Amino acid sequence: MDEIFGIPTAALMSQLLLGLVNGSFYAMLSLGLAVIFGLLNVINFSHGALYMMGAFLAWMGIEYFHLNYWIMLVLAPLVVGAFGIVIERTMLRWLYKLDHLYGLLLTFGITLMVEGVFRSFYGVSGQPFSVPEQLAGATDLGFMVMPNYRAWVVVASLAVCLSTWFVIEKTKLGSYLRAGTENPKLVEAFGVNVPLMVTLTYGFGVALAGFAGVLAAPVIQVQPLMGQNLIIVVFAVVVIGGMGSILGSILTGLGLGVIEGLTKVFYPEFSSTVVFLVMVVVLLLRPAGLFGKEK
């Protein structure tokens, strides 16, 4: 079969593969959002800005402190997570009992401030960031040439996603987390420090965004507004997957990457908007998203 729908098979295969690469990245990004919403009921609009912060911190670490990519892959998320913890302690915790809207608006405001600060120091043109040497170069797969770095992105994203899912759904710690958000008083009565758990969870979710930022830095221009376009797509992914479901976000992220990839072949101009069409269709058919539970 040389052609499918008029597109050469090899080309279609390569587009699908690229779609999976992007999808794993989306899954990684929406994971943090899903964790924060699923466990804390907070719609964290600042995810995009914190993703940018992760990328910038990685750049700063390399530029100012002469560290390398691998160290920053661990360090940047930790710093972003710490920043998230500060936000949670000082501002977010007052909003838990209120409507979702307020958490959304607060984090939106934080986004504007963070982006503004970075922009005023670094401008918008972006910083040079090269692919780390160990991952440079590409492998010829026959039907296409796959850069090694992109393969690494898939591996890292899927590893982080699956281990997070495992911890939350299958371990004791995860069960404390899930119980703690459903019924904090009861869990506290058992001697578990729920507020601390909540804070650390937010920090973790945010650190995931920072990690995604470091992963993205070599391939996407590192500039203060880099999170802006991504944030509503990531939102859509979480909503489609079902707002409480970790697995839902992961699978939707991957699926969306593939759908976008196909759209880029057949109707490229629509590829940034197709996610919204999918969202409307899914929400009309399944009210709480694909894997969500109606509250």
Please report, as residue ranges, which positions from 174 to 193 form the binding site for other proteins (by CB under 8 A).
none
Using the rule CB under 8 A, which residue among 35, 40, 168, 265 binds other proteins? 265
Q: Is 159 in the site for other proteins (CB under 8 A)?
A: no
Q: Scanning residues 88 to 117, which ones bind other proteins (CB under 8 A)?
A: 91, 94-95, 98, 100-102, 105-106, 108-113, 115-117
15 binds other proteins (CB under 8 A): yes
Q: Is 266 in the site for other proteins (CB under 8 A)?
A: no
Question: Closest by alpha carbon to 59, among 111, 115, 122?
Answer: 122
How crowded is residue 35: how many other Cβ atoms within 10 Å of its Cβ?
Answer: 24
Q: Which stretch binds other proteins (CB under 8 A): 72-80, 121-129, 165-173, 205-213?
A: 121-129
Nearer to other proteins, 68 or 127 (CB): 127
Task: Give the nearest distance from C-beta 191 to other proteins in angstroms.
Answer: 30
Count of residues near other proteins by CB under 8 A: 74
Q: Work out whether 139 is an interface residue with other proteins (CB under 8 A).
A: no
Residue 4 pairs with which residues in a beta bridge?
A: 7
Whether 80 contacts 54, CB under 8 Å: yes
Tell me: does residue 58 bind other proteins (CB under 8 A).
no
Phi, psi of 98 (to 5 degrees): -90, 180
2, with CB counted inside 10 A (0-12, 13-18, 19+), is exposed
User: Cα-atom radius of gyration of the chain, to the nearest Å?
Assistant: 19
Single-letter amino acid code for the residue at 172: K
Residue 269 near other proteins by CB under 8 A: yes
Q: Quick check: 125 binds other proteins (CB under 8 A)?
A: yes
Tell me the per-residue interface mask from 193 to 232 with other proteins, x by CB under 8 A, - otherwise: --------------------------xxx-x-x---xx-x
Residues forming beta bridges with residue 7, ordered by sequence position:
4
- Least distance from C-beta 118 to other proteins, angstroms? 10
Give min distance, CB of 269 to other proteins, in A: 4
- For other proteins, the closer CB: 169 or 287: 287
Stretch that binds other proteins, among 142-150, 167-175, 179-187, 193-201 (CB under 8 A): 142-150
Minimum gap (Å) between residue 134 Cβ and other proteins: 15
Contact pick of 85, 96, 147, 258 for other proteins (by CB under 8 A): 147
* Contact with other proteins (CB under 8 A) among 22, 157, 181, 249: 22
81 binds other proteins, rule: CB under 8 A: no
Least Å from the CB of residue 5 to other proteins = 15
Taking CB under 8 A as the criterion, which residues in 232-261 touch other proteins?
232-233, 235-236, 239, 243, 261
